[in-house]
A and B are shown apart, each in its own frame.
Chain A
Amino acid sequence: MPCNKKIISLKNVSMNYHTLSKETFALNNISFDVHDKEFVTILGPSGCGKSTILSLISGMIKPSKGNIYINSKHIDLCNSTVAYMLQRDNLLEWRTIKQNVLLGLEIKKNLCKESMQYALNLLKTYGLEDFIDYYPSQLSGGMRQKVALIRTLAINPQVLLLDEPFSALDYQTRISISEEIKEIIHKEKKTSILVSHDIAEAICLSDRVIILSKRPSKVKKIINIKFKLNNLTSIQKRKEPGFQKYFDEIWQEMNDSE
């Protein structure tokens, strides 16, 4: 898979935050690439600036140092779509499921017959067709997160940025929904970057895991995840001998302080 073309590359990116009382060095000289249709997870201790990386890739904030390229173009010049999925679903309670899903298209002033049909098809394909006129409060947490994903996919982005999108769910829902969402992302052929601090989740979902150190974060190690069989479910992967090996490797790496 990594032989595909590069979609995103970070070159020596550093990021500092300034407040009146202190200066925080969040990222220190981070470089990595993400290839087409790859699922990469960024793992790291909490507060290490994982989310900052996503904000940088989305272009919402600018790095203090270094460059970010999307499709080999500098991020300031590129217009390919990058879409965010956040920790909470952030569905707007006063809008129906359908209206929520169309929010991104409305904002991008891209709401036409075709794009609307595309969004509605996504809802249909992933089993939410019967709920399009419901309000978010009528759906369960897992379903809401799925709607949030479809809202993200509706703008037909090339890259998905997932900022701990499962952490607000209970454990059981979390496993089944992360599985389902991985499936959807795979079918829709998207490149994704997931931020997480759950090692098991990272192993089950990703093709590659990037481990960050404590602040100021550096890339500690990049681990390719490969199982013997290709399309195992999360639960099946957890039973594989390879799972434990990866888990130990990542665990050690994350707990090994320098």
Chain B
Amino acid sequence: MTVNKENTNFTNEHYIFLKKYKRKKFLITFFQFIIFALFIFLWELLSRYNIIDPFLLSSPSRIFQTIITLNNTGELWSNIFYTLCETIVGFLLGTIIGILIAILLWWFEFIQKISEPYLVIFNALPKVALGPIIIVWMGSGAKSIITMALLISVIVSTINMLSGFQNVDNEKLLLMKSFGATKIQILKKIILPYNVSNIISTLKINVGMSLIGVITGEFLVATKGIGYLIIYGGQIFNLDLVMTGIFILAVIASLMYIGISKIESKYK
């Protein structure tokens, strides 16, 4: 009959444990940084002394130079803006529609059983293959790109959420039924709150999926965005531009990941 309370009076042994833990954590961060710095440094050094071909492999300084040039011509921010907007719209639509479909399939088990093989096939199908059809149907603009992002993210979120819904502890459902709960009550009071962490992990996956979808879309449509910069750079053999595009994508991806982690820590 006790209540867990935080103890703050530690023995010496515990302080040593804490110290060791902190040291390990520091070392991990330290090596993560060192590897990054060393990579950049070696890349720059080797290309400057022409040990590796800067035309093929570019270099950090050339990427930096390209970013400055893009910034001056105004192409940098407009392209980032396009890619970001498309990703966010694709991400939101994909997540919301995915969750709604999952709820629908959970509600009507019969429909879920019928749709199972279709879901599996559609999940395995490389959505890029649908690119030409999407462009013909939607035109060569943002609509096509968002559709691509949506297709890639929606199916994954549906499957993820549905398996989360089905994993809810049976005894809890029994408890709800013993109170005479209706289906909508079970959904609102058990299924959804039980799956908050699952929803967040779906968000995490979806951020990546939407970005993949948008870049794939931009490769195909090739009028605007970071994906366009990369494909354009490749066509005119300007590998500095390609590398710059990849670098910007890495920055965008990590920023979005940090954003979702912030949301996650709020719910924990």
Give the chain A neighbours of B1 by CB distance below 8 A. 140, 142-143
Asked whether, in the complex, the Cβ of A60 is within 8 Å of the Cβ of B178, the reply is yes
Provide the bound-state CA to CA distance between A84 and B174, in Å: 9
Tell whether A215 is near chain B: CB-to-CB under 8 Å: no
**Chain B residues at the A interface, C-beta cutoff of 8 Å:** 1-4, 169, 171-172, 174-181, 185, 189-190, 193, 196
Asked whether, in the complex, the Cβ of B3 is within 8 Å of the Cβ of A140, the reply is yes
Query: Which A residues, 68 to 89, have Cβ-Cβ distances below 8 Å to chain B?
Result: 83-84, 86-88
- Nearest neighbor of B175 in chain A, beta-carbon distance: A90
Asked whether, in the complex, the Cβ of A138 is within 8 Å of the Cβ of B3, the reply is yes
Asked whether, in the complex, the Cβ of B171 is within 8 Å of the Cβ of A88, the reply is yes
| Cβ-neighbour of B172 out of A58, A92, A131, A134 (below 8 A) | A92
Chain A interface, number of residues (Cβ within 8 angstroms): 24
A127 → B minimal CB distance (Å): 9
Asked whether, in the complex, the Cβ of A107 is within 8 Å of the Cβ of B3, the reply is no
Provide the bound-state CA to CA distance between A87 and B172, in Å: 11
| Cβ-neighbour of B179 out of A92, A104, A131, A142 (below 8 A) | A104
Asked whether, in the complex, the Cβ of B180 is within 8 Å of the Cβ of A107, the reply is yes
B198 → A minimal CB distance (Å): 13
Query: Which A residues, 89 to 139, have Cβ-Cβ distances below 8 Å to chain B?
Result: 90, 92, 94, 103-104, 106-108, 131, 134, 137-139
Give the chain A neighbours of B189 by CB distance below 8 A. 92, 103, 106-107
Provide the bound-state CA to CA distance between A123 and B20, in Å: 45
Asked whether, in the complex, the Cβ of A86 is within 8 Å of the Cβ of B179, the reply is no
Asked whether, in the complex, the Cβ of B3 is within 8 Å of the Cβ of A139, the reply is yes
- Nearest neighbor of A88 in chain B, beta-carbon distance: B171
Asked whether, in the complex, the Cβ of B177 is within 8 Å of the Cβ of A60, the reply is yes
Asked whether, in the complex, the Cβ of B2 is within 8 Å of the Cβ of A140, the reply is yes
Give the chain A neighbours of B169 by CB distance below 8 A. 90
Asked whether, in the complex, the Cβ of A134 is within 8 Å of the Cβ of B3, the reply is yes
- Nearest neighbor of B174 in chain A, beta-carbon distance: A86
Asked whether, in the complex, the Cβ of A84 is within 8 Å of the Cβ of B180, the reply is no
A157 → B minimal CB distance (Å): 10
Asked whether, in the complex, the Cβ of B4 is within 8 Å of the Cβ of A138, the reply is yes
Asked whether, in the complex, the Cβ of B179 is within 8 Å of the Cβ of A155, the reply is yes
B171 → A minimal CB distance (Å): 5
What are 20 residue pairs bridging A and B, where the CB atoms are less than 8 Å apart in the complex?
A58-B178, A60-B178, A83-B178, A84-B178, A88-B171, A92-B172, A92-B189, A92-B190, A94-B193, A94-B196, A103-B179, A107-B176, A108-B179, A131-B3, A134-B3, A137-B4, A139-B3, A140-B1, A140-B2, A142-B1
For chain B, what secondary structure do more than half of its interface residues adopt (helix, strand, loop), or is it mixed?
A: helix
6 other A-B residue contacts (CB within 8 Å) besides A58-B178, A60-B177, A87-B171: A83-B179, A86-B174, A90-B171, A107-B185, A138-B3, A138-B4
Return the 9 tightest CB-CB contacts between A and B, nearest first.
Answer: A84-B178, A107-B179, A107-B181, A104-B179, A90-B175, A94-B193, A90-B172, A90-B171, A86-B171
B135 → A minimal CB distance (Å): 45
- Nearest neighbor of A54 in chain B, beta-carbon distance: B178
Give the chain A neighbours of B193 by CB distance below 8 A. 92, 94
Give the chain B neighbours of A140 by CB distance below 8 A. 1-3
Query: Which A residues, 3 to 35, have Cβ-Cβ distances below 8 Å to chain B?
Result: none
Give the chain B neighbours of A86 by CB distance below 8 A. 171, 174-175
B129 → A minimal CB distance (Å): 38
Give the chain B neighbours of A139 by CB distance below 8 A. 3
A162 → B minimal CB distance (Å): 12
Give the chain A neighbours of B3 by CB distance below 8 A. 131, 134, 138-140
Provide the bound-state CA to CA distance between A104 and B181, in Å: 9
A99 → B minimal CB distance (Å): 10
Give the chain B neighbours of A131 by CB distance below 8 A. 3
Provide the bound-state CA to CA distance between A142 and B3, in Å: 11
Give the chain B neighbours of A107 by CB distance below 8 A. 176, 179-181, 185, 189
A72 → B minimal CB distance (Å): 22
Give the chain A neighbours of B180 by CB distance below 8 A. 107-108
- Nearest neighbor of A84 in chain B, beta-carbon distance: B178
- Nearest neighbor of A130 in chain B, beta-carbon distance: B3
- Nearest neighbor of A51 in chain B, beta-carbon distance: B174
Provide the bound-state CA to CA distance between A92 and B181, in Å: 15
B130 → A minimal CB distance (Å): 39
A70 → B minimal CB distance (Å): 15
Give the chain B neighbours of A83 by CB distance below 8 A. 178-179
Provide the bound-state CA to CA distance between A139 and B190, in Å: 21
Give the chain B neighbours of A94 by CB distance below 8 A. 193, 196
